[in-house]
Structure 1
């Protein structure tokens, strides 16, 4: 029996139609098989453009064979002299997911080649042991001493170990001075390395006696990034010590130090370790870079150098780097690494280096001995063998300038750089990164007026999370609260803090406090004996949030039973700040230019953060002094910005396009007589700089002999009033060196003010960390000609009366008189009209 859905009549009609169609095709000479080919042809026509598009995107080239043993690098021992002070490095940011970029990489070494390299390395004559001293006086917070106060205080410091150091022995030499009131049998000092104790000594010195104790550190504890913690237990009573007693103190002195004995190891060169060995973010000494000058310096080469240098500033952050340009390799020093940017024709040294790619007649050949396309970039790591040392070399090249530029751009785009590996890379295609919003800055407050603490960025890809502190005198929780340049936080802005605290607190003496920088915004008593979650709101005063502000949450935690002593009583006291805390802002954006104070955070050059609206200008034949300032400024721009890419451009004066001059922020670098944009030296009402050391301000004119000051001067661009023209100049090379010191040193750079900053050294070779080494003068005589306002109507009205407050009393007097006059006119008009009627 047939199912209900089966219809025999319909099936018969369908078969008859198929037979008629087949008969017609046969009569017209078309084979029946052609019917089956129609979908195939259509599919081929559809896939052909897709395949062509894929062929345009996917580009592969034959590669040379990888060397049996990759080149290796062994650094020179560190200089015996102690390095200048610097801050400890922060934790490295986690890597981001790589974007869709198309790279062809040389094969990495095989397991057999690795074994051969390891065997060869073990047969080498070991390097003699070297010693390095890391003194505590390099920490800016050290000053004359670090003071430990309270019953259980702790001081923490970060320190690093270069990647290729094999530590043989290490010790911490702690020099301290203590209070005479401490009980020796109950007070002690403990040192921990990476949360592992390495020793404890009693605090049994007499008043004024200096203690000097050495703690041996197991070499296995020393990692590339480390922390030393110095913990004290300080007791003045046999029964119970009052934690607020002022005699509870121990001072760690700046002569304390860490002493390494180490050997340098050989490390294969591989882009998976980049930026090592060109720079080492764990190097305790300043990294040193030398750029090889090409045969003909061009704007394209300068652009590549500025972007590469800016990326080094981002990678190293506040760690110092010394960069310069050299004319030949004989000028290299023992601690410098070499960077060669340019085509084989512009950099003849490439023909003399051992490279995985063959060079022939100024062209780079692939594995089939064919020249690579001009737009393909090539990156290579190699070494330069000298009689007494080995220098690592980074090569970014191509058969044309476009290829070299693409190679450098791959290195400066953080997401792309992560997929690099091997000794050499050909950059076939590179993704173009879109520019960010000019008001979207990592590390600053979000653009939104309402946001949570979880939206505050601490570093790249790291946000604020719930944070807990313990103890009766815990350190304040520091939260970055940096306003965007020009943001004006108005009255009515609030911060609502969500927090939790433990149940063992004394509600009468325990509290939580919220402060912005050194201004206390509000406090609340922890009133519940059982603890719990609470919220309270504080108001933000007008215009107090700066681009470098920090929010501090301090817990004052006292135990419920004051007679209970010991570490157990301390650790049961805790408070937590939750990331759900939120901020509600009322803000306007008011930016007055020129203002060098804004330059400290990069504004307006760093809006957007990829520097796509900024161009550097150098004289047609820059001197070494001008080039050094150019390198320092490029590094500083990278240090104060964060983005996925860098689009900074640099031009020789002769190559500066009119469109760039009219649309971008300009930074001119050069000695005063050679400055590419002399318009920056003349300001109506401000300081005017002329040739022959002539200075003029208003009607006053002077000539200084000699004029050795460095000058940082900002004016509105004469070609676009919405852009800035910045001049880094001096009358002589000595002044340029002072400008370079200002750019390299954070303390000096943080003193930029007004529209003009003058800097000169007080000593022939000053220590940049010596406050008496330099004199800085800030001038603010030029009118702030341009005010950029982004505010509501009421906000603009309030700002108008704030800037013109003298109009208020005049208006109070004139307004009643005007109203009286209008009323009389109206009454007379009514009276006259009534008479006529």
Structure 2
């Protein structure tokens, strides 16, 4: 029986058609099986995702009927204390500006103020508020100095100013004070004032010698925007026919007491994260932003880390605009102009219970829309106001410390922050950006050896483009040319300038000049009569490019016919610097620590730029002076860095571990007798000890009182590639002076050596007066060299520079060795000759 079946199977299997059918059947079955498995796997993979999504939605349900977004109502009459003299005697009525209202975006009156208050319910208008007057003086701009000088036949100066977001401007006027040369012809010389390229009016320059002119121009309120520019143009003539533009008597000075006077009504603002950081911080406010952090019940390292990261991010957002921050114990200490930031949990911040929040608080826990406690690792961000609604409040909280950290981290991560909208946010998950490379710094020259100016960043997310200047006294083209700290530009580095100029230029006396930090590198005459595009190469000086260097290109343009005068004849002269200008750098990287000159540029604290290798250490119970110094340091670190995130760590002294000391650069803050890292005061150089004892080498003195602040940098005892920076003093007054050092650009830009001493000369010093502070710099700590990138020959040269005593010794030993080897060789040759 079995053999019959076997014979039958062998008969059919011997046929080709049967074998093909069997193979086709097996292929179809396998295909169906694989498809079923894939669909099953996909279904199994999709099911947990759906379950997870449903679980998240159920777990983090939002309130079903949230209350309307809170409205921040500024105080009706903030005190600005305007300081200006009475109205000028000469007060011309300017003609109406000529512009097409329907075609210009700026023609809508006060667009920002109306937009931000459009969704706010109108208050009772029975008692109309009185407008507030504010004065913005020209001397508040660092470009003004002692005066703005107009030189030449058709000079022009420009100043930028801002308007706060919640200002509804009622009226504005520009009051210009000036002095002029007595040689100017009154009938042919005049002064023109413009706001945002719209002319306000023109006045003649008819003052006599030493007489100060004072004129005022009304500014149409629809010209005032968030960012504005006032330009002052002059026509200065000393000859009835044609004035020589190089005559030194062609000058007019705009005095720093010139001002713009605003009259405005502060508008209420609906709080929404789509406008963040406003109104917590307003980058357009002409007054300093004032922010207060509420101190928690228990001071912890996690809270300090969250505060310093947020403060550093404010430094990046606000930039050079003034910022005043402090830590308060309760809301009774708040000022009217301050904004409040609350970080922590309901247990550490009891004030949260008294605020009107979109999420319910019960038994020290925040609840979601289903009245379930939120997990400890979920961050909660909320905008609200204090009961009087005159102070906005930012809440970054969570039921646990992990949630608070996640909420703050969301605000300091640039890309994630853009997702924010509404009054409240739940931060469920947060992706941490990858830390940048230690030498990848935005705003500095690229790391490549060859690049173009179009690769050089001139501002955040902005790169150099073709730049054109016009006129006989054209301003130079300014190009940031900053090397990374420690980079040395060596001999052989060049810049190949690509430029073009107009055909009306006189080739006999017109030139183009390239300068580095106002040191001329080279110049070339503009020989072609028809203008056009040209190029020439200049050599960069050896080790002459610094982390704050700038490259300048100046065009000296003169017309072919000196008898042709007028504004049109002057403006037809132009020169352009092209962005395809090539740069070739030969460089190495040699860093010597400690050096406060490197700290000024951010190294090594800001390497990498997210501050992930930097930690700040405070005493276990920090005082107000130490906390304020921490805020000033954090803001400065934020200003000198750019990255997608901030990973700065802050510890109390009890929480610092050996791993932290070995892996990070440390910044110790505190009085000398309670400095959390005392190793900074036991190295060579200046040391501060108890009983007001000061040591410098073998010299010891006791100063009473010792009110100086000290900034000292030493190589980290735990890692020679990191530094230990001490910010200390014998008294709290010295800590406040160190705080001023980090807040005032003029003082911070002077850091050098390994130790800086700062002392105020006035009880209430002015940040603009150079005589109100005294700075001294010491350089006694031993420096260790860290070579990160250098050629073999460069390393040999550096070794001989550090061990120069070996050079004369080598000069003596080398001839002796050569003489010895030569004698041995000659003796062997003589012996072989004798044997043969």
| TM over 0.5, shorter chain | yes
Partner of 2:41: 45
Partner of 2:206: 204
Q: 1:643 to 1:518 in 2, by over 3 A?
A: same
**Which whole-Å CA distance do the structure 2 matches of 1:338 and 1:580 have between them?**
48
Residue 386 of structure 2 aligns to a residue whose secondary structure is: strand
Displacement after TM superposition at 1:535 (Å): 0.9
Partner of 2:88: none
Q: 1:425 to 1:11 in 2, by over 3 A?
A: farther
Displacement after TM superposition at 1:82 (Å): 4.9
Displacement after TM superposition at 1:79 (Å): 2.6
Contact 1:57 1:429 in 2 (8 A): no
Contact 2:116 2:269 in 1 (8 A): no
How high is the TM-score relative to the length of structure 2?
0.90
Deviation per CA, 1:32-90, whole angstroms, max 9, x where unpaired?
xx997984554132342355357668944311145453211122344322599xxxxxx
> Equivalences for 1:407-806 in 2 at 5 Å?
407-684=407-684, 686-803=685-802
**Which whole-Å CA distance do the structure 1 matches of 2:438 and 2:310 have between them?**
22
**Which whole-Å CA distance do the structure 2 matches of 1:54 and 1:463 have between them?**
45
After the TM superposition, which of the residue ranges 775-784 and 119-128 deviates more from structure 2? 119-128
> Equivalences for 1:394-405 in 2 at 5 Å?
394-405=394-405
Report the count of equivalent residues: 788
> Equivalences for 1:279-428 in 2 at 5 Å?
279-386=281-388, 390-428=390-428
Residue 428 of structure 2 aligns to a residue whose secondary structure is: strand
Contact 1:380 1:395 in 2 (8 A): yes
Q: 1:529 to 1:627 in 2, by over 3 A?
A: same
Contact 2:590 2:789 in 1 (8 A): yes
CA RMSD of aligned residues (A): 2.5
After the TM superposition, which of the residue ranges 461-470 and 799-808 deviates more from structure 2? 799-808
Contact 2:116 2:270 in 1 (8 A): no
After the TM superposition, which of the residue ranges 458-467 and 49-58 deviates more from structure 2? 49-58
> Equivalences for 1:187-266 in 2 at 5 Å?
187-266=189-268
Displacement after TM superposition at 1:790 (Å): 1.8
After the TM superposition, which of the residue ranges 370-379 and 484-493 deviates more from structure 2? 370-379
**Which whole-Å CA distance do the structure 2 matches of 1:369 and 1:83 have between them?**
55
Deviation per CA, 1:604-624, whole angstroms, max 9, x where unpaired?
000000000001111111111
Q: 1:730 to 1:526 in 2, by over 3 A?
A: same
**Which whole-Å CA distance do the structure 2 matches of 1:745 and 1:797 have between them?**
41
Deviation per CA, 1:313-356, whole angstroms, max 9, x where unpaired?
10111112111111111111111100000011111111110001
**Which whole-Å CA distance do the structure 2 matches of 1:82 and 1:671 have between them?**
38
Q: 1:83 to 1:727 in 2, by over 3 A?
A: farther
> Equivalences for 1:125-164 in 2 at 5 Å?
125-164=127-166
Contact 1:78 1:132 in 2 (8 A): no
Contact 1:594 1:755 in 2 (8 A): yes
Contact 2:184 2:205 in 1 (8 A): yes
The yes-or-no answer on 1:73 pairing with 2:72 is yes
Displacement after TM superposition at 1:568 (Å): 1.1
Displacement after TM superposition at 1:11 (Å): 13
Residue 429 of structure 1 aligns to a residue whose secondary structure is: coil
Displacement after TM superposition at 1:372 (Å): 1.4
Displacement after TM superposition at 1:366 (Å): 1.0
Q: 1:150 to 1:114 in 2, by over 3 A?
A: closer
**Which whole-Å CA distance do the structure 1 matches of 2:815 and 2:470 have between them?**
63
Q: 1:514 to 1:675 in 2, by over 3 A?
A: same
Q: 1:620 to 1:56 in 2, by over 3 A?
A: farther
Contact 2:117 2:267 in 1 (8 A): no
Displacement after TM superposition at 1:747 (Å): 0.7
After the TM superposition, which of the residue ranges 796-805 and 151-160 deviates more from structure 2? 796-805
Q: 1:280 to 1:14 in 2, by over 3 A?
A: farther
Contact 2:120 2:268 in 1 (8 A): no
Partner of 1:822: 821
Partner of 1:94: none
Contact 2:288 2:322 in 1 (8 A): yes
Q: 1:816 to 1:638 in 2, by over 3 A?
A: same
Deviation per CA, 1:723-750, whole angstroms, max 9, x where unpaired?
1111111111111111111111111111
How high is the TM-score relative to the length of structure 1?
0.90
Displacement after TM superposition at 1:695 (Å): 1.3
> Equivalences for 1:78-93 in 2 at 5 Å?
78-82=78-82
Displacement after TM superposition at 1:571 (Å): 1.4
Residue 170 of structure 1 aligns to a residue whose secondary structure is: strand
Displacement after TM superposition at 1:693 (Å): 1.2
Q: 1:57 to 1:555 in 2, by over 3 A?
A: farther
Deviation per CA, 1:700-735, whole angstroms, max 9, x where unpaired?
111111111111111111111111111111111111
Gapped regions of structure 2 (runs ≥ 5): 1-14, 85-114
Contact 1:69 1:114 in 2 (8 A): no
After the TM superposition, which of the residue ranges 278-287 and 136-145 deviates more from structure 2? 136-145
Deviation per CA, 1:229-256, whole angstroms, max 9, x where unpaired?
0100111111111100111000000110
